[in-house]
Structure 1
Amino acid sequence: MTEHFPSKIGLSQQFDCSYLPDRKEQLLVILDNECYTAPRFEALLSLGFRRSGDQIYRPHCPMCSACQSVRVLAKEYVPSKSQKRKYKKIDSNFSVKVSFQEKENYFSLYEKYINQRHSDGTMFPPNRLQYESFLFCRWMPISFIELWHEKKLVAVAVTDTMPNALSAIYTFFDPDYEHLSLGTIMIMAQLNLARSENKDFVYLGYQIDECKKMRYKKQFAPAQQLKEDTWINI
C-alpha cells in the first residue's frame, strides 16, 4: 500500500472532546476492509491514524488541530537524565515480560487503575465489555508488556506490533506504585522492545499541548511530530 488515503473513509458526527472541554471532536474512520492488516495499518500510522478496538480512525475536527501524532526513533532513543533516574527505581525485584495473549489478571488491574486514577473520565466506571472493545483487536498482533514486582503484576502496556514499528495503545498500572513513574517506565520498556526487534519507530499517539495529561510524549527523544502530513524532528 502506498502512503495515500484509502478510497473508503467515513466521517463521524461531532461530539464533545475528551481532552479539551471547550472543543468538539470529529473523526475520519477507515471503511476499507483491505486496510485492516498490520502492514497496511503501519502505512496509515504514518499518516496520523490510530487504532481503537477494531477501528482505525484519525481526528478531523473542523475548528481544531490540537492532536499531533508523535513517534520516537527507537534505534536512536537516548533516555534523559530524569528518565534514567526513574528507571533506576526499578530494582532487581522488578522484571519486564512480554506476553502475546491477554491474561486473567489484566482486567482487575485495569479496573483498579480506572477507578482510582480516572474516575472523572469517559472510561469510568470500567467494565469488561468496554475494556475489551477499547484495547483488543481481531486483526492486529498485540503484545502485552508486563512489569512484575516479584510475583505481583503492577503494569501492562498494550502495544500493537507491525513489521517496522510498535504502537502504544494504552498503559494501565497499580496506583499503589504510582510513585515509580510507571507511565514513563512502560514507554521505555516499549522502546527497549522495539530496539530488540530492530524496529524503527514507537508511535505514542497524539500529543495535545493544551492538555496537561497529554504533553508527556515529547519527553522521549529523538522524536518526530506529524504536521500538515509531514514528519518533522522535534
Structure 2
Amino acid sequence: MHAPRNIPLIFYATPPDHCPYLEGREMTTVFADPHGPMDVERYGRLLDAGFRRSGHHVYRHQCRGCDACVPIRVPAAAFCPDRSQRRAWRRNADLQTVVREAAFDGEHFALYTRYVNQRHRGGGMDRPTPEGYWGFISSRWCETWLVEFRLQGRLVGVAVTDRLPQGLSAVYTFFDPELERRGPGTHAILWQLQEARRLGLPWVYLGYWNPLTPKMAYKVRFQPAQGLVDGLWQRVGPG
C-alpha cells in the first residue's frame, strides 16, 4: 500500500521529558503525525534521515543541547566480524532460524514477557499486555518479519525486522534471558547482516547508538559502522 504522494507529512514535537538513557538530561522527540500518510518508501527516506518506528509511530530524538543518540547503520557487503562476533556466531551454530510474516503469536509474547520482566524491570516495559506488545512491534504499512531462533525446537529468540527498499531495519530483539552468555542479540544482528547481503540490500539499520550508555554503546562494534552526524552519514567508531 502506497501513501498519496501529494499529501505532505506533518511533524510534532513532545515537551522535554526525563531521558531514559542519561541521568539528569531531558529528551525531546519529533514524530510524524500517526494519522498522516505513510508507506514503506516514505519510511525508508525518513530512516535515512535518522527516524525510527515504534509500532505505527515514526520518531526521532531531537534534544536541546544533546546529540548523544546517533542513528547508526552498517553496510552489509563491507561488514567484517571481529573475534568476539565470530565466537558468538559459532556458539549459536546449533540454532534453527525461521522467518515468519508479522502476526501475533502467544509463544512469542510469552518469551517477550520473560525478557522485559527480567531485563527492563521497573523501566516501564515490564508487565506487558498482548495489546501493548503487538502495538509496539507491528506496523500496518511496513513489511515486517518475525525471525525465530529455536534450540532443539524451543523458541529462544525473536528478531523483529523490517524490510525496506534500501536494507533491513532491526526493530527489536528479545530472547531467553537464561541464554544471555551465548550472545543471542549479537547473533540476531549477524543474521540480519548475512541476510541483507544475501538479498543484495545495502544496509542494516541498528537504531540509535549512544556511546555514553552500555545499553546502546555496543552497536558501534559492527564495523564499518556509519552514523548520521550533522546531517551526514559518516564512519563512526574504531578503525
Partner of 1:147: 149
The AA in structure 2 aligned to 1:33 is G
- Alpha-carbon distance, 1:7 to partner: 5.4
Match of 1:214 in 2: 216
Equivalents in 1 of 2:192, 2:213: separation in Å? 23
Aligned to 1:33: 36
Cα distance in 2 between the residues matched to 1:91 and 1:124: 30
In the alignment, which residue of structure 2 is the partner of 1:227? Answer: 229
* Structure 1, gaps ≥5 residues long: none
Task: Decide whether the 8 Å contact of 2:55 with 2:137 is kept in 1.
Answer: yes
Equivalence map 1:58-73=2 (5 Å): 58-73=60-75
Normalised by the length of structure 1, the TM-score is 0.93
Secondary structure at the counterpart of residue 142 of structure 1: strand
CA 1:125/1:37 → structure 2, altered by over 3 Å: closer, same or farther? same
1:110-129 counterparts in 2 under 5 A? 110-129=112-131
- TM-score in terms of structure 2 length: 0.91
CA distance in 1, matches of 2:146, 2:194: 14
Structure 1 segments (4+ residues) deviating >4 Å: none
By how many angstroms is 1:197 displaced? 1.2
Quick one: distance in 1 between partners of 2:92 and 2:162? 24
Query: CA contact under 8 A between 1:13 and 1:26: conserved in structure 2?
Result: yes
Q: Which amino acid aligns with 2:90?
A: K
**Pairing 1:61-140 to 2, within 5 Å after superposition:** 61-92=63-94, 94-102=95-103, 103-140=105-142
Q: Which residue of 2 aligns with 1:173?
A: 175
Q: Is the 8 A contact 1:18 1:122 kept in 2?
A: no
Taking the aligned partners of 1:17 and 1:99, their CA distance within structure 2 comes to 34
* Contact persistence 1:145–1:190 (CA under 8 A): no
**1:91 Cα shift?**
3.3
- Indicate which of 33, 42, 45 corresponds to 2:44: 42
What secondary structure is seen at the aligned counterpart in 1 of 2:77?
helix
Shift, 1:120, TM fit: 3.0
Question: What is the deviation of 1:125?
Answer: 2.1
Contact 2:161 2:169 in 1 (8 A): yes
Name the CA distance, whole Å, in 2 between partners of 1:53 and 1:101: 12
Is this contact kept in 1: 2:9–2:36, CA < 8 A?
no
Distance in 1 between residues matched to 2:132 and 2:65, nearest whole Å? 29
Q: Measure how far apart 1:33 and its partner are.
A: 2.4
Contact 2:113 2:126 in 1 (8 A): no
What CA distance in whole angstroms lies between the structure 1 residues aligned with 2:84 and 2:161? 24
Q: RMSD value over aligned CA atoms?
A: 1.5
Q: Is the 8 A contact 1:145 1:189 kept in 2?
A: no
3-state DSSP class of the match of 1:179?
A: helix
Equivalent in 6, 12, 23 of residue 14 of structure 2 = 12
Distance 1:134 1:40 in 2: 20
- Partner of 1:10, secondary structure, is strand
Distance 1:56 1:91 in 2: 35
Alpha-carbon shift at residue 69 of structure 1 (Å): 0.4
Measured after TM superposition, the shift of residue 104 of structure 1 is: 2.7
User: Aligned equivalents of 1:49 and 1:108: distance in 2?
Assistant: 29
Distance 1:70 1:154 in 2: 26
- 1:198 and 1:206 map into 2 onto residues whose CA distance is 24
Aligned length: 228
Once the 2 structures are TM-superposed, how far is the Cα of residue 227 of structure 1 from its aligned partner? 0.3
* 1:203 maps to which of 192, 202, 205: 205
SS in 1 for 2:174: strand
SS at 2:233 equivalent? strand
Matches of 1:192 and 1:143 in 2, distance apart? 15
